[in-house]
Chains A and B, each alone.
Chain A
Amino acid sequence: MPGQTLFDKIWAQHVVADLPGGLSLLAIDRNYLHDLEGGPNFTRLEKLGYRVHDPDLTYAMPDHAISSAPGRTTDTNPTGGRLLRDMRRGASAAGVKLFDIGDEGQGIVHVAAPEMGLTLPGSTIVCPDSHTCTHGAFGALAIAIGSSEVSHVLATQTLRQNRPKFMRITLNGARARGVTAKDVILATIGRLGTAAGRGYAVEYAGALVSELTIEERLTVCNLSIELGSKTGIMAPDDTTYQYLAGRPYAPKDALFDRAVAQWRTLPSDDDATFDAEHSIDVGTIAPQITWGTSPQDVLDITGRIPDPSNEPNADRRKSMEAALNYMGLRPGDAIEGTPVDWVFIGSCTNGRLSDLREAAAVLSGRKVAEGVRAWVVPGSMAVRRAAESEGLHRQFLDAGFEWREPGCSMCLGANGDIIAPGERSVSTTNRNFVGRQGPGARTHLASPTMAVAAAITGRIADVRKLGH
């Protein structure tokens, strides 16, 4: 028998039945709900007359529409309040655990669930959010689903899935100074394009992956969807197990040892084969910044804005022109030095404790430039509290950042946190789409350290020139 991939093994363990048309009925271990989808799906299920199949495998928390304002309450953002109340009622009626405002476990679901030890290697995880692929960092099979599928999972604890093809992206070499996990994955997307992963489950492998911390792995897997893939995955290893030990919902004592023994069997076999392979030399990557309206529109910080007239493909040329027009940028200009109005540090990509630590380290006592508004929105209540106990919030506040409550916030503006039309932001988020951070808002994606460099200088800047 040929070798199996990590993905194969998890898939095989979860197939309940083979359905016509090559579909499989997969057992789901974790169903994560957020405020945009929680209440509406509980209500829909009730209307259809179905019950929640396994309340103990579903976890809910508000993140998308909840206010990030300091001292917020349920109704600080009234629409978010309505959604949260509906989700509370539904979760309570079904016996589903909800991490509410003020709870340690509240936060962006892709930040808080791993911190609570809910995301475990070898498990199947679904969430009605495209960045569900984040959880693959633990060696879990994480799948982004749609609203109807949420109802389906709630009512059956299974998902109908087509088995994807497999792609392996091998990240080799050593990172240069100032290069973060975010730069690595942005550069990968820039080289392969946002359609490369479509129809594939992507496994990240190579020497770099084993060197990354769990939080860095989460950042890499988070952007799999920007490669076009619903699923990104990495082999679990000792780093994974050390991270999980002692987390509130992770197994304990003898059960933990038993789980680790099983998890050790999960990594892809040496002779496993993939339908597509890519290799990236990480040593060639510099700090990254996007220039356009797709994550693949990305440059080295030392680069120049590309000229559409050099683009042979007509469709591509048209979309580049539209992007430059939207972004208010001129072909051939250096990206470095472009003035910015906003800096946003947060999101499921870069809202974790290590992100805030790195950002604070670059800050090292400097101030936010005049005319720049800068926010830090911790990814979870646990991150916020840990950062406060380390005094990181003091450093941000003293520099002129706003220190806010955990949630998705300005990554997508679903709670009303938006950037004014035409204003330019350096954001540690995952999408620079047209209108993503507000109608007309111009988003440049970058790492937390690059975001701080922009905040201090008031311009798109090379963090390495600030002594990093």
Chain B
Amino acid sequence: MDKFIRVTGAAAPLMRINIDTEVIIPINRLIGNKRGDLGPYCFEPWRYLSDGVENPDFVLNQPRFRDAKILVASDNFGCGSSREHAVWSLAAFGFRCVIAPSFGDIFYWNCFQNGVLPIRLPEAEVKALAAEIEAASQSNVTVDLEKQTIIAPSGRAIAFTTDPERRDAMLEGLDEIGMTLKLDARIRAHQDRDRESRPWIYRREETARVARILVLAGDGIGPEVVGEARRVAEWFVARRNLAIELREELFGLSAWQAHGSLMRRETWDEIVAADAILFGAIGSPDYEKIPAEARKVDQLLRIRRDLDLFCNLRPVRTLAALGASSSLRPEVIAGCDMMIVRELCGGIYFGTPRGREKIASGGERAVNTCMYTTAEVERIARSAFDLARTRSGRVCSVDKSNVLTETGGLWRDTVQALRDQHYPDIELSHMYVDNCAMQLVRTPKQFDVLVTENLFGDVLSDCAAMVAGSLGMLPSASMGPVRADGGRHALYEPIHGSAPDIAGKGVANPLGAIMSFAMCLRFSLGLAQEADRLERAVEAAIAQGARTADIAQPGDKVLSTRDMGDAVLAQLDRLQ
């Protein structure tokens, strides 16, 4: 904000009573014009004739007042609508000061917020000043806020008063928010007391309990990468006062070694009770050593199925600094930012009948069944539409309805009907999966939110991962339906696997796991600002040149898993 100490310039008299803010700036100019661009529309209804040419009779169109810095007006100036644009348009015209007997309340206080000084003077004083300006050969007036004096064209001094704090702020050009935040400790203390006496005001009061996050590191590089995500989570607890309780259970081979079971009851209870699960990876050649009976059930699939984690989100974003690590040309992938929404609990991966059987003519016959219900398609489409509303509002639905006319047809009809009935604002397009696979590597930037069924989503999301450069960077979320209590089960995991070949060496890239925790902040804890903070920290670390082996170019300094965690924590400290 510009300081206001002493302003000298032409003063224009506009002696009409009750000039309302609609006349100062018409409502249709509020839209599509930035605050600095409103000058040409200031007093538009009077300044221009109906055909858009200047009205020569209007005071501000007269040569001596064209560059006026001071406006002299009548009673109740700036009444009517509260729009602050009225002050902006006056300021953009060039006015620094308005002198009047009285002002519209809201307008008056808005002036101080925008470096325009409103001065109240007795009516007789204002009329005399206006008359003097009209009669004088030159209309220059000086307003001195330090001395609280107006110098009229004749040299006559007129005293005025201004609220002392407003005067100080105007003299220093101070930003009010900064002034108020000096009192933030008092604001927060007030809120804490108030939360006790009037809990109903605070929406999150009932849910502001400690969120339970269960860490399941799993196999291979899982413990290494999740270990770094855990350190990041602990930073948020310590430094951002996040109410998170981190608990950990053994999962996978380590669980078998410790408990003689891949899923003991206590672990399952923790899984069900958790607000979110931070998962590492699963898979190792050593599973062969466990009796076949004990490993019959895939424990990760069981979690997905029993918690009904139907909604799988895979964000794919290109980081400029990592363009070189993709197999695609930099100009193809630059600026890409999409979210793949994959149905995770239905379709051919779960459909029955399924199986293999010997057939009389020799050999075998194998069957898998792809099946979807309207309700299953609706809930994943709803997830995609809701998400799109927080982004660009565009959704591309992918199916194979030209050949799989049954499941594909149901998919397309259901998605379209839901959009038409409940999400008319969403721009929905449909694409066949074969074309989509091509488009993902051809012009990935065309996609924003992409929604598809289980099998297609599995294939397309790995394909899309190449757009980002490395599998090691990418997070994912798998979420269940919203329960009656407002919560929903969710599991966050990097999309890379357990990578047994590099396990235990401390070289894996932890950013996929760390970014998974960012998704957890956003989707399970509702802390979008904290999620942004973490994502910015990761981007900053990359931009500063932090590289693990998987994303390093020849000649780059290669960081260990732990060093990469440190690089992110250092950026978090810096952004704090």
Contacts and interface: CB of A to CB of B under 8 A. Distances in A.
A151 interface: yes
Interface string B398-440: 0000000000000000000000001111110000000000000
A414 B30 contact: yes
Nearest to B204: A56
Interface stretch (B18-26, B286-294, B452-460, B474-482): B18-26
Contact of A144 (B31, B106, B114): B106
A419 to B, nearest CB: 13
Given A79-B31, A95-B529, A228 B79 contact: yes
A97 to B, nearest CB: 8
Contacts of B85: 147
Contacts of A412: 27
A23 B169 CA distance: 13
Contacts of B200: 120, 250-251, 255-256, 258-259
B28 A413 contact: yes
Nearest to A55: B529
Contacts of A385: none
Contact of B22 (A25, A52, A436): A436
A130 B80 contact: yes
B42 to A, nearest CB: 15
Contact of B176 (A51, A54, A129, A152): A152
Interface stretch (A69-77, A178-186, A277-285, A349-357): A69-77
Contacts of A435: 22, 26, 45
A101 B424 contact: yes
Contact of A95 (B87, B109, B391, B526): B526
Contact of A129 (B82, B104, B183, B425): B82
B104 to A, nearest CB: 8
Interface stretch (B158-166, B310-318, B337-345): B158-166
B425 A102 contact: yes
B446 interface: no
B186 A16 contact: yes
Interface string A141-177: 0001111110110011110101000000000000000
B462 interface: no
B202 A230 contact: no
Interface stretch (A1-9, A81-89, A392-400): A81-89
Nearest to B114: A148
A84 to B, nearest CB: 8
Interface in A1-50: 13, 16-17, 19-23, 25, 27, 29, 36, 48, 50
Interface stretch (A194-202, A205-213, A337-345): A194-202
B21 to A, nearest CB: 9
A102 B422 contact: yes
A445 to B, nearest CB: 14
Interface stretch (B190-198, B209-217, B548-556): B190-198
Interface string A53-73: 111110000000100000111
Nearest to A127: B82
B81 interface: yes
A13 B391 CA distance: 39
A325 interface: no
A270 to B, nearest CB: 25
Contacts of A448: none
Interface in B99-123: 102, 104-106, 109-110, 113-114
B183 A17 contact: yes
A80 B425 CA distance: 12
Contact of B181 (A19, A147, A155, A262): A155
Contact of A85 (B102, B180, B181, B392): B392
Given A56-B203, A79-B31, A27 B194 contact: yes
B17 interface: yes
Contacts, number: 197
Contacts of B176: 148, 152, 160
Contacts of B2: none
Contact of A21 (B45, B106, B166, B528): B166
B528 A74 contact: no
Nearest to B189: A16
A27 to B, nearest CB: 5
Interface string B138-177: 0000000000000000000000000111101000000111
A94 interface: yes
A123 interface: yes
Contacts of B181: 50, 155-156
Contacts of B105: 198-199, 228, 230
Given A29-B201, A88-B389, A228-B105, A16 B190 contact: yes
Contact of B203 (A93, A102, A249, A315): A249
Given A130-B81, A152-B176, A413-B28, A146 B113 contact: yes
A155 B183 CA distance: 12
A248 to B, nearest CB: 11
Contacts of A92: 390, 528
A434 interface: yes
A158 B427 CA distance: 38
Name which of B75, B84, B85, B180 has the most chain A CB atoms within 10 A of its CB.
B180
A239 interface: no
B10 to A, nearest CB: 25
B230 to A, nearest CB: 23
Contact of B177 (A146, A151, A195, A225): A151
Contacts of A259: 198, 200
Nearest to B30: A36
B113 A149 contact: yes
A54 B176 CA distance: 18
7 contacts: A27-B190, A93-B529, A94-B529, A97-B203, A198-B102, A259-B200, A433-B20
Given A27-B191, A433-B20, A434-B23, 10 more contacts: A13-B194, A29-B201, A93-B532, A94-B528, A102-B423, A128-B82, A152-B180, A157-B191, A255-B199, A431-B81
Those 10 A-B pairs whose CB atoms lie nearest each other, nearest first? A251-B200, A148-B113, A92-B390, A74-B425, A21-B165, A146-B84, A130-B82, A147-B84, A146-B110, A20-B165
